Structure 1
Amino acid sequence: MSLLQETLDKIQKIDEAAKKQSRERIDILLKPVGSLGVLENIAEQLSAITGEVIPDIKKKAVLCFAGDHGVCDEGVSAAPQVFTELMTPMIAAYRTGVGVLSRLAGADVFVYDVGMIPDLPADCDAVDKKIRRGTANMRKEPAMTREEAVKALEIGIEAANEAIEKGYKVLGTGEMGIGNTTPSTAIFAVLGDVDPEEITGVGANLSEDLTKNKAQVIRDAIALNKPDKNDPVDILSKVGGLEIAAMTGVMLAGAACHVPVVVDGYISTASAAIAIALKPEVKDYLICSHASDEKGAKFGSELLDFAPFLHMDMRLGEGSGAALAFYLLDAAVAMNRDMATYADVNMDVV
């Protein structure tokens, strides 16, 4: 049995009993019922995922995957493709947004090359898991083979399993890949049956004319490759990305191991869409961190019935939103663990 199928078979529904116990405790904490809003929902979800009313989530990590995209040949990104090569070692060195925010949150960042065109620098603290040197230009041919898509999924599963074995209790998903809003938009266009122009955004500050070109490139890629809406791996292989597939693998592994996975922004949400399409139960194990400022993000969140709780006008990627959300996960657990209850002061619930 493949690692992918083994992981899918392990995924079960969340722990409804722990969810109920957590909600019952939250509702007797010394406050008006429901007055801490989303924080209460986060605490309840963490209990449901882990099976513990007061889970230990101290040890956290962002798993960040890097890959290049052949579709950049079509002028879909304002940033040159060399930025993937430039930024990946900086992420590994904690010198970018996700690194700074993760370090502040006491979290670690692990970086994996699953599909960069160049090799990693010798002094780069990232893991070489390269499947191929960038995807193919999906406007002209499938982005990758089905076997490569499965391999990328399994690399994400392996990375997550390794982190979980090391004691990490919460995982965040991150990526680095110039041009990757294009495959992400293609994924949503296929799964949501929507014309790409309705959800195609500026990515890394693309001009209006080039944004229209980007939408047409996505439209052409879908028309040429005909990804099967009912086959998530087919979608990944034809119009996806290696780093997108790897993040999907992290989400599957997290669900299989009852470990919460914090979804970052637009690209990570595309990974979540594939993960949920592969196994609907995965959705309840995913915590959607922030409402990305990328144009298609609202559509993606609505498609998945996600409710991002941070509204910061962010669209950096890398896992930066997931790292920022770590603070609120800690706050939710602290609320449930440390607040007094009405019983402590001999009062009835208000």
Structure 2
Amino acid sequence: MNHRWWLDPCKPLDTLALEQAAARQQQLTKPAGSLGQLETVAVQLAGLQGRVKPTLEAVSIAIFAGDHGVVAEGVSAFPQEVTGQMLLNFVSGGAAISVLARQLGATLEVVDLGTVTPALDLPGVLHLRVGPGTANFALGPAMTVAQGEQALQAGRDSVLRAVAAGSQLFIGGEMGIGNTTAASALACALLDCPVAHLVGPGTGLDAAGVNRKAQVIERALALHAAQRHDPLQTLFNLGGFEIAALVGAYLACAQQGVAALVDGFICSVAALLAVRLNPECRSWLLFSHRGAEPGHRHVLETLGAEPLLDLGLRLGEGSGAALAVPLLRLACDLHGQMATFAEAAVADRPA
């Protein structure tokens, strides 16, 4: 792929809509700033949507799934077959994100980028098969450049479908046994942070398991140290197909002009990678929640992100982002439907 599309310019915010929305907030029948982050995010959405009164009726959720070769190092509490089994659960409506998508009236797309389960052919799943999962990044690169670019493109394509369907908000989710290990390794490389500060239990490791995971990441960081300052190659060395797809999706959102609502730790690491590759995309990223994984806090701080929720979540699948959607919708409703002081004939504070 000659064209490095991920470096293309991002759509600029509509500064006029942003200014007018901020001015409107000052006129609503409440003390200025009294709705805190709900005010901030409504104004931000106005700038992203190019309208003084933004709405979030059409929401698209895409789950990207892939397996990880590093699971061979004993870094996960769950067997690898779970990734493929969860794909069926997503499209059958039984997963947490399936329930949330139904409740939100959101579209749900499930993209299989490559699992160890051979010959999966599930109705309702888009099977792209970039490879049978990634290679073990403790022994070599997780993926080839060609595979990495294919995964980036898969994320972009998902956003293009969402945009074509009129989506106003894109949520990316992930599924892949072992992917907190990949995300932790990426975060350590990008933040130049000690492994011990970032590594956590993932889906339920005990203390010995966390320690083993940390040792595997240390080995991998040493192995790939020479390319640590190249974010794209670091993604290909240490990431997963689903993480690369999320990176591509966030960049495409910014280029296409649709807001992206970022989920938990793994998605936030993908967001950090997207920002490192193309810093302009940061304006298009909203952050839904602060998860339980220790590294998540560090990544959010680096991104200057102030998430909406802090519920101790650690599920993934885009579930935390989906939970924040009603809050965003209410923020838009408050911003758009509250009366101004003049409309309500309420005395404003003295100038």
Q: TM (normalized to structure 1)?
A: 0.96
Shift of 1:227: 5.7
Q: Distance in 1 between matches of 2:230 and 2:31?
A: 46
Q: Which one-letter code corresponds to 1:261 in the other structure?
A: A
Give CA-to-partner distance per residue, 1:124-180, whole Å, 9 cap, x none. 311011211110000011101122111111110011111111111111010000000
Report what 2:64 is aligned to. 65
Shift of 1:2: 4.9
Task: After TM superposition, list the pairs within 5 Å mapping 1:102-181 onto structure 2.
Answer: 102-119=101-118, 121-181=120-180
Q: Distance in 1 between matches of 2:288 and 2:2?
A: 31
Q: Which one-letter code corresponds to 1:63 in the other structure?
A: A
Shift of 1:191: 0.9
Q: Distance in 2 between matches of 1:348 and 1:279?
A: 46
Report what 1:325 is aligned to. 324
> Contact 2:54/2:336 (CA < 8 Å) preserved in 1?
no
Paired positions, count: 349
Shift of 1:347: 3.7
> Contact 2:121/2:127 (CA < 8 Å) preserved in 1?
no
**Aligned-partner SS, 2:160:** helix
Change (3 A) 1:121 1:134: closer
Change (3 A) 1:88 1:227: farther
Give CA-to-partner distance per residue, 1:34-57, whole Å, 9 cap, x none. 111111111011111121112342
> Contact 1:120/1:128 (CA < 8 Å) preserved in 2?
no
**Aligned-partner SS, 1:144:** coil
**Aligned-partner SS, 1:110:** strand
1:212 aligns with 2:211: yes
Q: Distance in 2 between matches of 1:74 and 1:6?
A: 34
Greater displacement, 169-178 / 300-309: 300-309
Report what 1:197 is aligned to. 196
Q: Distance in 1 between matches of 2:50 and 2:119?
A: 40
- Which sections of structure 2, spanning at least 5 residues, go unmatched? none
Shift of 1:206: 0.2
Q: Distance in 2 between matches of 1:26 and 1:7?
A: 35
Change (3 A) 1:227 1:88: farther
Report what 1:95 is aligned to. 94
Report what 2:297 is aligned to. 298
Q: Which one-letter code corresponds to 2:26 in the other structure?
A: D
> Contact 1:66/1:177 (CA < 8 Å) preserved in 2?
yes
> Contact 2:55/2:333 (CA < 8 Å) preserved in 1?
no
Give CA-to-partner distance per residue, 1:73-94, whole Å, 9 cap, x none. 0011011111101111111222
- Which sections of structure 1, spanning at least 5 residues, go unmatched? none
Report what 2:340 is aligned to. 341
Q: Distance in 2 between matches of 1:135 and 1:147?
A: 12
Q: TM (normalized to structure 2)?
A: 0.96
Change (3 A) 1:121 1:135: closer
